[in-house]
């Protein structure tokens, strides 16, 4: 589990301490994030933090299926819609509390993810993209035409989570619901991607035939990538549904939102472990900063995509990786030179 | 992994810190200025123009010293007819710009969640365009509407057409909110008032291009009225295709209020002749106040025939200025909540406001649709010429009681 260059003291340290030390950065990160909303100047920034964190969950999930397993999907936004509406239905129509609706919606979306994954057995590349696009549009159209979920007018009055009888309706209170979920989501993505499953995903991405020849069950891992990614989408969807003012509308799950989501992953770095996080944070901030230039916003986003693909095909994560790889290479060369000398 | 995750944890933390810090620039709101946040759907035909007109109209008072000596500062944003964007805009207005009043939005699906936000934060909101009946039924004491509610619109054409054309109606509509509302309210009125069932109903997708299979079935049923619900391109397409399949011109084509937008007669061409719709304003209104407005829009915004999106945005701006002139405002940061309440109370005093709207606009203090659906008069308009040089005439003007269309 250790990265290159970290094999000295840590490997000599006792097993228990190594296990514990692995969590220290996460705990420190958690502590920093814990105080973050108190640094915000106004509640709008807390609202923005919640949106960023929900986008982080969505993008990290998409990065698993797209970046690591190499499956070209444009149906991820539909999975978020399924999670959001499932959670809303469970809360509003069946009176389930948020704390049960969230895991239930995540599970239901996981099942939907399995359905999305089935076409991936036979399809690849542009064909798979088309199939998942069809599914995404079907979900949106189904919601638009279903009165039970508010059709195209929208699903209102979705309650916020309750804790000890008090609603967590304010943006700052809701942050403490979203933030731990996002952090756990990122941590789990690390665990998955550094495990055998993650290595199987990467093998699939590089060459599915070679992966099959090496004994990897291609169908199983393709399906697993879609299901895991759907868990993330469902969880993000549920968190969106219960965020104040508790309103859902199918217009929030169109192809435009899917492209924005893809931009997060592409800009952050496809296949880079932190790509989804970096991309989600940056794109949400850019989105917010350009809100006053509404005439040019779409052009700005289009330009970012084109420039990223042209000059940073591996995204910001790729640039960071290359920087550290170069540094390590130079250090190694220097070390070898000094040994030779 | 340790060093990578260490680095990465702080990438996330610092990026989030950046997110919290960077967009916070306008947090310090200036005293002694009335701040208004305007959010509308603007990336549509003429949308940027009516958005700009609303801003210009509100800020026009600054040239003459402001309202009671106080300047108006308008922040104008586009919500793209997307609820999440509308929610973000209204949160930004309230918490970052510390506005005294929110004006918007165009789409009902955006205005509905905005109502929940302004109610929670206790900020007055005035809605210029959205027509969905449920907006004022939420019972918010902070919300006012100058546009004509769907509960009135549906009855304008239903009543006129049932009495003057016929009661055999075929409905063809798309899945967007306004179209569904148009068709269902029309059907409901016909059923309640005349005990008449629709002879045909079909719902299509917003993105559908070919409606001819439905139209052929409708033709065989020989209806008196073809009711078309949809956004402007769908209305133009269905109208045109209805002639292609041979539905005779004696069958009255009636459409949702989106038919008032210029692209409908332009796209439909000659097929637009006879197409009827309910609206709040027509550029063919001969009253001097209306013609003066039409000339102003033509000269300043280069729009030949301003539709009711323009007139309602203009009207709303005038009503806001009138209310602001009546409100006693301190305009300090400490008195923000008190000023917001004063503006809300001043809006509730608007009585018999007569301007561009088809009838007088009235508000009152109760948070009920009777008090907050200000405009209760719709007009029925018919296109008399299609194409680029389209023309129209007003067929009827119908006013309703305040509690019309509400459950007893």
Residue A336 lies in a domain: yes
Render each residue's pLDDT in chain A as its tens digit; 341 residues.
344 444 444 455 566 677 777 788 888 989 999 999 999 889 999 999 999 999 999 999 999 999 899 988 899 999 999 999 999 999 999 999 999 999 999 999 999 999 888 877 777 788 888 888 888 889 998 998 898 999 888 999 999 999 999 999 999 999 999 999 999 999 999 999 889 999 999 999 988 889 999 999 999 999 999 999 999 999 999 999 999 999 999 999 998 899 899 999 989 988 887 888 999 999 999 889 888 888 888 788 888 888 888 888 888 888 888 888 898 899 999 998 888 87
Residue A3 lies in a domain: no
What does the buried/exposed string (b/e) look like for B264-292 if buried means 16 or more CB atoms within 10 Å of the residue's CB? Answer: bbbbbbebbbbbbbbbbbbbebeeeebee
Residue B102 lies in a domain: yes
Residue A6 lies in a domain: no
Interface test with A, best of B50, B83, B133 (most A CBs within 10 A): B83
Q: Between B5, B23, B120, which is nearest A26 by CB? A: B5
Partner residues linked to B397 by β-bridges = B379
Taking CA–CA distances from B37, the nearest residue in chain A reads A292
Contacts of B64 (CB under 8 A, 6+ apart): none
Residue where a domain stops, chosen among A231, A253, A275: A253
Residue B32 lies in a domain: yes
Q: Are residues A315 and A335 in the same domain?
A: yes
Closest to A114 measured CA to CA, from A255, A204, A231? A231
What backbone phi and psi angles, to 5 degrees, belong to A83? -60, -45
Q: Are residues B193 and B127 in the same domain?
A: no
Residue B238 lies in a domain: yes
Residue A184 lies in a domain: yes
Residue window 159-178, chain A: list those with CB within 8 Å of chain B: 169, 171
Q: Are residues B136 and B174 in the same domain?
A: no
Residue B16 lies in a domain: no
Residue B251 lies in a domain: yes
Residue B6 lies in a domain: no
Do the chains contact at B5 and A169, CB–CB below 8 Å? no
**What is this model's ipTM?**
0.87
Instruction: Please give the Cα distance from A278 to A261 (Å, whole number).
Output: 12
Instruction: Please give the Cα distance from A210 to A203 (Å, whole number).
Output: 8
Residue window 83-142, chain A: list those with CB within 8 Å of chain B: 141
Strands B252-255 and B276-279 turn out to be: parallel
Instruction: Please give the Cα distance from A299 to A46 (Å, whole number).
Output: 28
H or E stretch covering A32: helix A15-39
- The reply to whether A328 touches chain B by the CB within 8 Å rule is no
Range of the domain at A283: 258-341
Q: Which residues in chain B show pLDDT less than 70?
A: 1-30, 408
Q: Are residues A262 and A338 in the same domain?
A: yes
Q: Are residues B73 and B184 in the same domain?
A: no
Domain count, chain A: 2
Q: Are residues B333 and B344 in the same domain?
A: yes
Q: Which residue has the tokens 């508790």?
A: A246
Residue where a domain stops, chosen among A253, A285, A309: A253
Q: Are residues A316 and A298 in the same domain?
A: yes
Residue where a domain stops, chosen among A212, A237, A253: A253
What does the buried/exposed string (b/e) look like for B66-92 if buried means 16 or more CB atoms within 10 Å of the residue's CB? Answer: bbeebbbbbbbbbbbbbbbbbbbbbbb
Instruction: Please give the Cα distance from B228 to A313 (Å, whole number).
Output: 48
Q: Which tokens is A161 given?
A: 């989570």
Q: Are residues B265 and B394 in the same domain?
A: yes
What does the buried/exposed string (b/e) look like for B127-143 if buried means 16 or more CB atoms within 10 Å of the residue's CB? Answer: bbbbbbbbbbbbebbbb
From chain A, pick out residues whose CB is under 8 angstroms from the CB of B176.
144, 152
Q: Which tokens is B264 given?
A: 């409908």
Strands B101-103 and B33-40 turn out to be: parallel
What backbone phi and psi angles, to 5 degrees, belong to B37? -100, 125
Q: Are residues A240 and A337 in the same domain?
A: no
- The reply to whether A336 touches chain B by the CB within 8 Å rule is no
Q: Between A36, A249, A295, which is nearest B16 by CB? A: A36
Taking CA–CA distances from B38, the nearest residue in chain A reads A292
Residue A211 lies in a domain: yes
- The reply to whether A81 touches chain B by the CB within 8 Å rule is no
Q: Are residues B45 and B159 in the same domain?
A: no
Q: Between B6, B87, B116, which is nearest A25 by CB? A: B6
DSSP string for residues in B224-278: SEEEEES-HHHHHHHHHHHHHTT--TTSEEEE-GGGGSTHHHHHHGGGGTT-EEE
Q: What is the pTM of this model?
A: 0.88
- The reply to whether A35 touches chain B by the CB within 8 Å rule is no
Q: Are residues B350 and B393 in the same domain?
A: no
pLDDT of residue B16: 54
Q: Are residues B259 and B246 in the same domain?
A: yes
Do the chains contact at B175 and A156, CB–CB below 8 Å? no
Range of the domain at B45: 27-148+287-375
Residue B177 lies in a domain: yes
Do the chains contact at A42 and B96, CB–CB below 8 Å? yes
The CATH number of the domain holding residue B117 is 3.40.50.2300
Domain count, chain B: 2
Q: Is B102 helix (H, G, I), strand (E, B) or coil?
A: strand
Q: Are residues B249 and B390 in the same domain?
A: yes
Q: Which tokens is B11 given?
A: 């990438």
Q: Are residues B79 and B130 in the same domain?
A: yes
Biggest CA pair distance of chain B: 80
Q: Are residues B179 and B270 in the same domain?
A: yes
Q: Are residues B43 and B114 in the same domain?
A: yes
Q: Are residues A247 and A301 in the same domain?
A: no
CA distance B136 to chain A (A): 14
A259-285 confidence digits (pLDDT tens): 899 999 989 988 887 888 999 999 999
Q: Are residues A153 and A298 in the same domain?
A: no
pLDDT of residue B263: 87
DSSP B25: G
Do the chains contact at B180 and A252, CB–CB below 8 Å? no
Closest to A208 measured CA to CA, from A71, A341, A325? A71
B255-300 confidence digits (pLDDT tens): 988 898 888 999 999 999 999 999 999 998 889 999 999 999 999 9
Q: Are residues A87 and A133 in the same domain?
A: yes
- Dihedral-angle region of residue B187 (phi above 0 means left; psi in -120 to 50 means alpha; beta otherwise): alpha
């Amino acid at each position: 589990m250790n990265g290159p260059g970290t094999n000295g003291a840590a490997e000599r340290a006792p097993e228990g301490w190594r296990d514990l030390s692995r969590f220290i950065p996460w705990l420190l990160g958690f502590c920093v994030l814990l105080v973050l909303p108190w640094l915000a100047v106004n509640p709008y920034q807390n609202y923005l933090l919640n949106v960023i964190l929900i986008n982080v969950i969505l993008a990290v999930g998409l990065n698993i299926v797209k970046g690591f397993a190499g499956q070209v999907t444009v149906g991820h936004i539909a999975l978020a819609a399924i999670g959001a509406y499932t959670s809303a239905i469970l809360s509003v129509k069946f009176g389930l509390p948020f704390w049960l609706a969230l895991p239930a919606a995540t599970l239901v979306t996981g099942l939907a993810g399995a359905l999305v994954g089935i076409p991936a057995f036979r399809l690849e590349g542009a064909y798979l993209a088309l199939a998942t696009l069809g599914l995404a549009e079907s979900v949106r159209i189904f919601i638009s035409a279903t009165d039970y979920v508010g059709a195209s007018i929208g699903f209102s009055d979705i309650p916020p989570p309750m804790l000890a009888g008090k609603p967590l309706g304010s943006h700052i209170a809701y942050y403490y619901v979203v933030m731990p979920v996002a952090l756990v989501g990122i941590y789990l993505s690390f665990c998955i991607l550094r495990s055998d499953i993650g290595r199987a995903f990467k093998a699939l991405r590089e060459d599915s035939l070679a992966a099959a020849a090496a004994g990897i069950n291609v169908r199983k891992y393709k399906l697993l990538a879609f299901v895991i990614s759907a868990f993330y989408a469902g969880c993000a969807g549920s968190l969106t549904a219960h965020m104040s003012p508790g309103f859902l509308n199918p217009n929030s799950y169109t192809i435009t939102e899917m492209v924005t989501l893809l931009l997060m992953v592409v800009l952050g770095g496809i296949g880079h472990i932190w790509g989804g996080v970096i991309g989600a944070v940056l794109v949400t901030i850019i989105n917010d900063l350009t809100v006053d230039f509404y005439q040019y916003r779409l052009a700005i986003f289009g330009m970012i995509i084109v420039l990223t693909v042209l000059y940073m095909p591996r995204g910001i994560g790729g640039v960071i990786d290359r920087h550290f790889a170069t540094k390590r290479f130079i250090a190694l060369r220097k070390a070898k030179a000094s040994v030779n000398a | 992994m340790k060093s990578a995750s260490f680095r990465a944890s702080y990438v996330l933390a610092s990026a989030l810190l950046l997110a919290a810090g960077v967009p916070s620039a306008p947090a310090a709101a200036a005293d002694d200025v009335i701040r208004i946040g305007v959010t509308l759907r603007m990336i549509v035909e003429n949308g940027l123009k009516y958005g700009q007109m609303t801003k210009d109209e509100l800020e026009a008072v600054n040239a003459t010293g402001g309202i009671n000596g106080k300047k108006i500062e308008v922040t104008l944003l586009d919500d793209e007819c997307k609820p999440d964007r509308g929610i973000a805009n209204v949160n930004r207005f309230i918490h970052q710009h510390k506005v005294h009043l929110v004006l918007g939005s165009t789409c009902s699906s955006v205005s509905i969640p905005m109502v929940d936000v302004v109610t929670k934060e206790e900020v007055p909101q005035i809605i210029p365009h959205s027509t969905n009946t449920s907006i004022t039924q939420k019972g918010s004491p902070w919300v006012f509407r100058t546009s004509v509610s769907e509960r009135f619109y549906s009855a304008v054409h239903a009543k006129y057409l049932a009495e003057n054309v016929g009661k055999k109606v075929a409905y063809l509509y798309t899945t967007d909110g306004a179209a569904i509302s148009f068709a269902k309210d029309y059907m409901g009125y016909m059923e309640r008032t005349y005990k008449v069932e629709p002879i045909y109903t079909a719902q299509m997708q917003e993105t559908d291009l070919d409606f001819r299979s439905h139209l052929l079935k409708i033709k065989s049923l020989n209806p008196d009225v073809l009711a078309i619900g949809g956004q402007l391109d769908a209305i133009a397409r269905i109208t045109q295709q209805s002639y292609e399949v041979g539905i005779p011109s004696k069958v009255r084509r009636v459409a949702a209020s989106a038919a008032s937008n210029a692209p409908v007669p332009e796209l439909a061409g000659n097929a637009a002749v006879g197409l009827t719709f309910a609206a709040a304003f027509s550029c063919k209104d001969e009253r001097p106040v209306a013609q003066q407005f039409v000339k102003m829009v033509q000269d300043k915004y280069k729009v030949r025939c301003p539709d009711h999106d323009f007139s309602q945005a203009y009207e709303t701006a005038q009503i806001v200025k009138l209310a602001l002139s009546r409100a006693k405002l301190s305009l300090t940061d400490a008195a923000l909540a008190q000023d917001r309440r004063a503006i809300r109370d001043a809006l509730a005093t608007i009585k018999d406001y007569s301007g561009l709207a088809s009838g007088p606009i009235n508000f009152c203090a109760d948070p009920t649709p009777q008090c907050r659906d200000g405009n209760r008069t719709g007009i029925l308009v018919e296109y008399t010429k299609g194409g680029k040089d389209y023309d129209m005439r007003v067929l009827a003007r119908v006013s309703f009681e305040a509690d019309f269309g509400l459950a007893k």
